[in-house]
Amino acid sequence: MQFPYQLTAKGKYSLKNVRLETGFEYDEEEVIGTKTDLFSIEIENGKIKSVTANDVASDALDAKGFLMLPAFRDMHIHLDKTLYGLPWQALSPKRRTVKDMIAYEQEIIPELLKTSVERAEQLISLLQHYGTHFARTHFNIDPTSGLQSLENLEKALEHKKDSFKAELVAFPQHGLFYTDAAPLMKEAAQLKSVGFIGGLDPLSIDGNIEKVLDFTVQLALDHQKGIDIHLHEAGESGMKTINYLIDKAIENPELQGKIFISHAFALAYLSPKETERIAERLAEGKVGIASSVPFRGKVMPIPVLKKYGVNVLIGNDNVQDYWSTFGSGNMLQKANLIAELYGYETELKLSRTLQFATQNILPLDDQGKQQWPKAGDDASIVLADASCSAEAVSRVSGIEAFMNEGNLFWRH
């Protein structure tokens, strides 16, 4: 997909006829609707300078009554490796395990790297088409690609710097010790552009939970990075890994709020009592969960995690690549899936579900008080073809325009 928007304004400017949510409508104590009104918004230096009564007569840019929402954030994706932009290819039934996939990657990465800059840009354009302006993206660190996946990804991000931002996770996709990736990880950890140290299934890939996690935690401590571990393992090894990371967070307060476990499928197989217990521990260690919201035989306990205050991040993970063909790139679609999976069907619950696309920013609080946007907020927004947040989630509404740090892009 080519970039579907054109730059319309930047720097200092104003918008009129911007639809904002102002409160809930009630039938006795039950929320039955969402109130909105039209406003004028002033933008300056990448921030929202003011939110005022609508000035129809002004020469401000016309938002045409579209609903203004916080721009979306994809918190688990792999921008460096995708088949998006290449001919259609479904998954092969011959590659069933992570180790099968590692062997396959070792074969295909050299050829894919030749076009990975262009394809990363195309994938970013797809995300932007759906209103995403920010991503946490993992990039391969492995002996086959060395640091070239990072170098190519950084080129793509530089080309997109006015419209898209990312934080980077150095991801040893082929294992730390299963292949000799540890020296490369040490090299990547020293780079300013890298924000997180990644990891992969420490027992099934590298054969030792403690060895892998101790290395990862120490690397993060030494270089003031966060941690984001891919954990597909279920059962005893999965839970041992989760608990070990929680212990490390409790032992090292400087890591609290900076450790994330991606996937964490082991949580989907616990009893209700076990789920409550581990959610309480995750919250105690301020260890977050990053999920692509899988539902093929395993439904993650996202409501219980949120109940205990665990930071739950949502992302697309794979978007048309050789690991999965199901990622759409659409964060509103992810919020819609969450609403369907957990039965969030009322106006109130649908409106709350928007938080999974925006990563916890909502226009109204639970009591219906307007809390966003306000002066000083980052000017990163979308204009959606919807009457309210609940409709946007339920109907996966189209995005007419988006703004990244004050740079406004309108659909062609």
Nearest to 385 by CA among 2, 3, 69: 69
Domains of the chain: which residue ranges? 5-65+366-411, 73-329
DSSP 56: T
**Rounded to whole angstroms, how far apart are CA atoms 96 and 102?**
11
pLDDT in 10s for each residue of the chain, 412 residues? 667 789 999 999 999 999 999 999 999 999 999 999 999 999 999 999 999 999 999 999 999 999 999 999 999 999 998 877 778 877 778 777 888 888 888 998 999 999 999 999 999 999 999 999 999 999 999 999 999 999 999 999 999 999 999 999 999 999 999 999 999 999 999 999 999 999 999 999 999 999 999 999 999 999 999 999 999 999 999 999 999 999 999 999 999 999 999 999 999 999 999 999 999 999 999 999 999 998 877 899 999 999 999 999 999 998 877 777 777 899 999 999 999 999 999 999 999 999 999 999 999 999 999 999 999 999 999 999 999 999 999 999 999 999 999 999 998 7
Q: Exposed e or buried b for every residue in 369-379, given b needs 16+ CB within 10 A?
A: ebebbeeebbb
Mention the CATH class of domain 5-65+366-411: mainly beta
Q: Around 222, how many Cα atoms within 13 Å sit in the side-chain half-sphere?
A: 14
DSSP 113: G
**CATH number 3.20.20.140 given to 73-329:** yes
pTM above 0.75, yes or no: yes
